A and B are shown apart, each in its own frame.
Chain A
């Protein structure tokens, strides 16, 4: 099966050329940085507007969504981040990050980024004792289940038709989506950075490479990248 994993192998040598930022206001940004290194990329902690201008992609980590949303506003990062996202900067949000990317957020008391046409509900599985681990069917990510850790996780309640669902939970959760992509915006309600599996990090590195390298961008236009995305859908 044509997979993101195989597709990535060709581009691995170039991974060090892209700078992938990890928003380091609060949360498990160090875990994301470690996963990026294992995926062959160079992570950069981002706390200021200046640092934001030097990245080819950005991860918004897990953490407290109310805290990160507040700090984005307090440190004047929210507007620049929205502008960069609209211009096609690859942005991936995990858990709290996924919440902040959503257009509609059920019960968040402050504005976020509105970059992904979906509705998400915070803490929707319950409190911490309801947090869980599951193994997901790998879908476009090759063979072998994907280990997924859900911590006070949000639930994606609805997505726009233009959003590709990459991964879903099993039948006991009505196959609800847990990893979705819309153009250059990626969202997962679980935490790939808490496991040794780097497939989703490698996928994001590749999204950043396609944007950073003109040749890759040409490939994207001629269909290679779109073919990949087509398989994702």
Chain B
């Protein structure tokens, strides 16, 4: 019998298993256990949540392997970790550590201003951020097996994630009205491979799982992203920067499962602990906006 590992089916398949779930940023094994107990379908292991990265400044890099190992040992759910855009050596290190998914992330300081990682070369699957359909399909062409919106991480402000999800979904809706002759020009305009543009038109969605990320702070934010077409939700600073992380985590998990049920959403939104305070986008100078990293 032929047994094949690291196929696209297997890489994209793990993301399919995460659908309808919440992936939580954690910085300690204790956080990871709280997240798993609350029903997180996966955790993202990192040294500082995005709001702290934003506050501290400096170069943000891959986390120390001892931290990642500690989190892998603490929970049985899949563990993800972040590498800098273009930093294929950090990615090799994470693959060697046994991480289940690598996030090539704009939250960290980019290592390469010209190229993203050639993700086809890795056995471990990658998730990448996007702001629109063209960016999503470029990342998939490079081998990403899962996509997320960039949003604006560490702000607790959902506005950018909404913008990016609407951009992707709106483009797919327009694409489905296009004839073949329009398709090639459209692919050129958005800078995406025509074959992936065609596949997206045929299936009426991105060819891989698409999560929302960047600014989710409340159960209502999470349900909003699900109703806009997200397959699931990443929550970064929103849980462990709230006043009662376990309760906020439970509430967001429940909101993602029952995103269409207004009674449940009202219930989980009632008397919640204070959410993270959040930042107005206009208060962030252009050079400090993380979503601008990558292309």
Contact = CB atoms under 8 A, between A and B. Distances in A.
Contact of B39 (A71, A129, A169, A191): A71
Given A66-B36, A71-B253, A135-B1, A128 B76 contact: no
Interface stretch (B2-10, B169-177, B220-228, B237-245): B2-10
Interface stretch (A21-29, A52-60, A202-210, A217-225): A21-29
Contacts of B13: 131, 149, 151, 191, 194
Contacts of A47: 257-258, 261
Interface residues of A, number: 44
Given A71-B39, A129-B95, A132-B10, A66 B17 contact: no
Interface string B23-55: 000000000000011111110000000000000
User: Which interface class (under 10, 10 to 19, 20 to 34, 35 or more) fits B?
Assistant: 35 or more
A95 interface: yes
B6 A129 contact: yes
A135 B2 contact: yes
Nearest to B123: A129
Contacts of B19: 26-30, 63
Interface in A129-188: 129-136, 149-152, 169-172
A152 B14 contact: yes
Contact of A74 (B5, B39, B77): B39
Given A28-B16, A28-B17, A133 B3 contact: yes
Contact of B18 (A64, A95, A133, A191): A64
A52 B257 CA distance: 16
B207 interface: no
A132 B6 CA distance: 7
A133 B17 contact: no
B234 interface: no
A123 B17 CA distance: 13
Contacts of B258: 47
Interface in A78-107: 95-96, 107
Interface string B76-110: 11100000000000000001001111000000000
A129 B20 contact: no
B201 interface: no
Q: Which 7 A-B pairs have the closest CB atoms?
A: A170-B1, A128-B100, A64-B41, A28-B16, A26-B20, A131-B10, A26-B21
14 contacts: A27-B19, A29-B20, A63-B21, A64-B77, A66-B39, A67-B39, A74-B250, A75-B257, A129-B5, A129-B95, A133-B3, A169-B1, A170-B3, A194-B16
Interface of A: 24-31, 47, 62-64, 66-67, 70-71, 74-75, 95-96, 107, 109, 122-123, 127-136, 149-152, 169-172, 191, 194
